[in-house]
Amino acid sequence: MRIEQLILRNFRCYADTQFRFDRQFNLIVGQNGAGKTSLLQGLAVAAGSWFLGIRGYDSRNIQDDQDVRRVTGMSGDTLQVSPQYPVTVEAAGTGLDDSPLEWGRSLEAKGGRTTQKLAKGIKEQASRAEGMVARQELVTLPLISSYGAGRLWVPSKDMRGESEAKERLENNRLDGYLFSLDPRINFSDLFRWLKEERYVALEIGRDRFGFAAVKRAMCACLEDCISVDYHVAERSLVVETHARGRQPFDLLSDGQKSMLALVADIAFKASLLNPHLGERVLEETPGVVFIDELDLHIHPSWQRRLVTDLKKVFPSLQFFATTHSPQIVGETPPEQIILLHRDGTWSRPRQTIGLSSNQVLEHIMGAEAVNRGMAHQFDAILELVEKGDFALARERITQLRGSENFNFPELTEAENYMSSVEESARESDA
């Protein structure tokens, strides 16, 4: 499955907007309120249509209380709120075996049900895939998974009781679809599976393909990683890095936990869905993954490699991720960035690779890279230089350095500029 185009009408903040997507990675950038999470939710409705054809797995319907666009206005001295219908989500892309596919869902009126009439094609493909799995025929299933900003901190018991989990998680490929559109990571299944796979490895003398793939994915996306494995003696997932040696999962930083859990969950689901792919399961599993706040708890130096790592480890998946990080934007090609605007439109930046974080902040994200008061003082110094008042400019630079006890790069640039202007003036006089 791949989503190449999406049309949202009266969906949350979007009156009528059409998006086009990259085949592998889509980084969604915009100010608060620009519609980043709303776009992810529209994509989830589209991807969730797959589950209309698979019994026992929840699709994502259009919700009357959250997804309907509302127009506000004053009537006399009273604020009026008017829901806008119909709400429609239309998608185009590819389905099973990379075949072209168009589908959609809509909510026609308040209190109604999300329609399925435009989702017939994707529903039939999913139903066919379910039948092939039941007959144990060869079919590669698309992975579908969504991760919210609070993905790491929800106790697993809130998602499912332990007894029910043990009943459900068997050698059933379709269990890779459990909680696909839930924004939380299901630690209960993940860690129990890692533990069971370790015991299996001890019994048969080697790691099974899925177990090896999950560990390989985690280590590949963790900075400075040597190995990741479940240790029976410690009863924990243990991570070994060059800098800190061996550490149990619980003692890792929030950023390490967040990234490891995310990558492990994706690889875990891929190995459940497509065990027939063996050691190529990470490289060949297709599908779509939605991540809200990709940079969650991640240090800026590590943020620069996140997109590259995900694309390298999961080359057949299509990612949709939101971010506020200029480091991530600066490492992502412009054709893979969707820059959202407050008026419901979007665009792509002309350049991202090679820009500094300050340049990304100012020219792409519309944010100030320097404190506004300091920026005014820098501008005042440059204005003095342009007027030829070099003595006062030097005095302001000295004062600013002394008062802030910091050598701002902008001050060095101002000094270099002043030297250049003075040299030009001397040459003119000569």
CA 231 to CA 211: how far, in whole Å? Answer: 13
Question: What's the pLDDT at 160?
Answer: 38
pTM of the model: 0.83
- Element at 122 (helix H, strand E): helix 120-134
Sign of CA dihedral 290, 293, 297, 302: positive
- The arithmetic mean of pLDDT across residues 167-187, rounded, is 80
- Write down the pLDDT at residue 388: 83
CA separation for the pair 157, 309 (Å, rounded): 31
Q: Work out the pLDDT band at 374, boundaries 50, 70, 90.
A: low
Average pLDDT over residues 295-314: 90
pLDDT band for position 403 (50/70/90)? low
**Model pLDDT, residue 165:** 44
For residue 399, pLDDT over 60 is answered with: yes
- Dist. CA 190–CA 288, nearest whole Å: 20
Residue 7, pLDDT above cutoff 50: yes
Nearest CA among 262, 263, 236, 266 for reference residue 251: 236
How far is residue 82's CA from residue 71's CA, in Å, rounded to a whole number? 5
At 209 the pLDDT is 95
Q: What is the pLDDT of residue 136?
A: 94
d(CA 292, CA 327): 16
User: Which of residues 250 and 286 earns the better pLDDT score?
Assistant: 286
pLDDT at 68 over 60: yes
Collapsing DSSP to helix, strand or coil, 49 comes out as: helix
pLDDT reported for residue 163: 39
| Per-residue model confidence (pLDDT) at position 8 | 98
pLDDT in tens, 285-303: 999 999 999 998 888 888 8
pLDDT computed for residue 61 by the predictor: 94
Q: Find the mean pLDDT for residues 67-83.
A: 90
* Exposed/middle/buried for residue 327 (C-beta within 10 Å: 0-12, 13-18, 19+): buried
Please report, for residues 22, 237, 349, the alpha-carbon distance to residue 197 in angstroms, rounded to integers and kept in the order given: 36, 12, 45
pLDDT of residue 207: 96
Q: Which residues contact 153 (CB under 8 A, 6 or more apart)?
A: none
Mean pLDDT of 296-311: 89
Dump the DSSP string for 269-336: HHHHH-GGGGGGHHHH--EEEEES-TTTT--HHHHTTHHHHHHHH-TTEEEEEEE--HHHHTTS-GGG
Average pLDDT, the chain: 88
Residue 181 has pLDDT above 60, yes or no: yes
Other residues' Cβ atoms within 10 Å of the Cβ of residue 42: 28
pLDDT digits (tens, 9 = 90+) for 320-362: 999 999 999 999 999 999 999 988 899 999 999 888 888 888 8
pLDDT at position 155 over 60? no
pLDDT at position 430 over 70: no
Which of 15-24, 34-43, 99-108, 292-301 is the least confident region? 292-301
> What is the SS3 assignment for 421?
helix
Residue closest to 84 by CA, chosen among 8, 6, 15, 7: 15
Among residues 202, 363, 137, 169, which one has the least CA distance to residue 268? 169
- Higher pLDDT: 411 or 398? It is 398
Residue 142 preceded by cis peptide, ω within 30: no
Give residues with Cβ within 8 angstroms of 305, minimum separation 6: 223, 331
